Amino acid sequence: MIKHPGFRVEPWALHETELRMELLAQSESLFALSNGHIGLRGNLDEGEPHGLPGTYLNGFHELRPLPYAESQYGSPVSSQTTVNVTNGKLIRLLVDDEPFDVRYGQLRVHDRILDFRAGTLTRTAEWTSPAGRTVRVVSRRFVSLTHRALVGISYELEPLDGPASVVVQSELVANEQLPVSPDDPRTAAALESPLECEEQQAMQRGAVMIHRSRRSGLRMAAAMDHVINGTSKARITTESSPDSARVVVTDVLGQGRRLSLVKFVAYGWSRERSVPALRDQVAAALAAAAQAGLEALLADQRRYLEDFWARADVEIGGDSELQQAVRFSLFHILQAGARAERRAIPAKGLTGSGYDGHCFWDTETFVLPVLTHTAPTAAADCLRWRHSTLGAATRRARELGLSGAAFPWRTIEGEECSGYWPAGIAAFHVNADISDAVIRYVDATGDESFEQDFGLEILVQTARLWRSLGHHDFQGGFRIDGVTGPDEYSAVADNNVFTNLMAARNLGGAAKACERHRNEARELGVTSEEMADWRAAADRIFIPYDRRLGVHPQAEGFTDHEMWDFTVASPDRYPLLLHFPYFDLYRKQVVKQADLVLAMQLCPDRFSEEQKARNFDYYERITVRDSSLSACTQAVLASEVGHLRLALDYAAEAALMDLHDLEHNTRDGLHIAALAGTWIALVNGFGGMRDHAGVLSFSPRLPDGLTSLAFSLVRRNAWLRVEVRAQSAVYRLTKGDGPLRIVHHGEPLTLTKDVAIERPIPEIEQREEPAQPPGREPLRRSPGGVRP
């Protein structure tokens, strides 16, 4: 992992056996813990050294101004930035007056395990101080998936070579100093001391601290309590100040004697609640933790994850590294959304501050399809958050002279945070991406009450946006001009195919939902005439096609542009956006990420098989994958059109995006959408799963190098398990009585409980692989998962 032999390949854990200082920031992201409400980077217990300290509360942010050289109508005046909140992870140790710091003395043993089934991060260290005293420290950390506000840490200390005088300092620290960010738009803005103290109080074995963000006016509370077991000589003191609180334990331990400490930390934040209310909230969380006890909480954590893995696990035969990677991915996807509860799922989850903690369209297009089929409650909560931001989206639409709702390209709380409109604000496809996630969620779950209470209004307001943004031309076609599609190296283009197709689905889906919920639609002011207008626009959507080349241009006129000269970009000049002006990228045929190819994945019925093959080959030659979102989509279409070996290469790239730090920015947090892309590449790619127009279909095929693939899906009230081998696929219900109707390579099947159906997998024509831009080929995946 990360080209580091200290990481072991294990099926159910991320295991580090050697500490490399130059990889500290990356490992902090990989070992991050979260429940969707609280996020802790995998910093060392003692806090230093660190790459990037990080403790986050979902949605808690600060405001910062967006300066412009010239004023521009409609441009946001401020942005929202995630805040590193009060750090409750810190437990510092002094042995005979020597601070435990891995940069000094000798670290004899370092072992960290992120356990995907237990939901814990366990660290074992044996350290010899500069004075020659050796101690063993074992810590275990978890962010509770069953108690939303709670973090638990156990810390055990033992001298190994004689008696030692020890001091343990368990702390809460606000306004930690952060490292200066590089000049990279993907990193976060550095904020100095964003929190001001409103209350701090030390108690017998704990403390509470309440802070307020200086500009956004949000209030947060952090509190800690301890259970301490030492010798009869142990002494405990507490102290606090505006930005720190500390519980200090001193003891003298003989050889073989141990000092153990259990630390519970509770977090909460609010815009409206008062200081006493937040203080009481975190106090109640600590009381509940003390009542349950550490072992019961850990047992609850394991049971929660056992239930998740029973319905979500993906099993791979023939590639142990991919097996580990897909479980690593699913674990972090669950952590990002499990207890978000009407908050966003940021691009980095709560694993780092990259992209300022903003949520993008990545969430609805990549993350929510995975959660919809594995943890649907989390998917629904994320869409409820989008619904809660409709007020900001409708205001934004009016500001832009449009009807309906214009959802932001990047945000934390609902307001647009992008100051660069061609690549960001003009990316109106985010509205269709959100509506698509609503449609897919309702199809997969049958959750009519969600559609009635939340989904319908999203569909209606986004449909109104498209009808006001587009227009019927003199030939009767419906055009959407001057927008930016998923490919951010092309901007302000006419009739982007992805945007138009997704808008058509949005318009048609809104009309159908209004038919199902006529009373609620009337309350939203929807008329029969408006619904007919939506249907007409959807039916007449303009999809450009280049008959000369026999391919779909990504947008109207795209295939007439000059080809990018790939010889000007050496390997160290990627991503291109950091080395070339956008102006030059926009007017050439060079693609940052799958755009037209993504349209073929999400709208498969709008392209013939031959068109898919020709389009895929054409765009392979000009797609540079400067986005972590691209490889999984390319894997899916490569698999569908017969490039199975190439599909495996792309699937591995998606799976190892962070584990191998392929984008060189894992230090800022994990790529949550790319992690979701691991599932997409395997399930939608080699499993051939499509969930389109209410029909669940499969066209599975395995590449050489994988001997088997098995995965589960949640569909309505049933759990479906699919097992794929080289020659056949087996389908069975593992929960629910059925019937569940699916399609296997075009053949309708009806599943009932405890009856497995096996079907052969037809052969596919193996096509000659297309070329990629020079130097941008995916790494070739060898049989057994060993990279040459």
Annotated catalytic residues are 488
| Helix 429-445 with 497-516: angle, nearest 10 deg | 50
Handedness of CA 334, 336, 342, 344 (dihedral sign): negative
Pairwise CA distance, residues 551 & 618, whole Å:
8
HSE of 497, CA atoms in CB hemisphere, 13 A: 27
Pairwise CA distance, residues 507 & 472, whole Å:
14
562-563 and 588-589 as β-strands: parallel, antiparallel, unpaired? parallel
Q: How far apart are the first and last CA of the chain?
A: 15
94: part of which helix (H) or strand (E)? strand 91-95
Pairwise CA distance, residues 277 & 268, whole Å:
10
- Rg, the chain, Cα only: 27
**Alpha helices per DSSP H over 108-238:** none
Pairwise CA distance, residues 29 & 50, whole Å:
11
The answer to whether residues 784 and 319 touch, using CB atoms and an 8 Å cutoff, is yes
Which residue in 401, 417, 457 sits closest to 434, CA to CA? Answer: 457
Q: Is 735 exposed, middle or buried (0-12, 13-18, 19+ CB in 10 A)?
A: middle
Torsion of CA 325, 329, 330, 336, to 10 degrees: 160
Measured at the alpha carbon of residue 126, what is the angle toward residues 123 and 131, in degrees to the nearest 5?
A: 140
Pairwise CA distance, residues 729 & 82, whole Å:
45
CA 727 to each of CA 8, 169, 322, 701, 764: distance values in angstroms, whole numbers, following the listed order: 32, 60, 21, 8, 12
Pairwise CA distance, residues 143 & 120, whole Å:
8
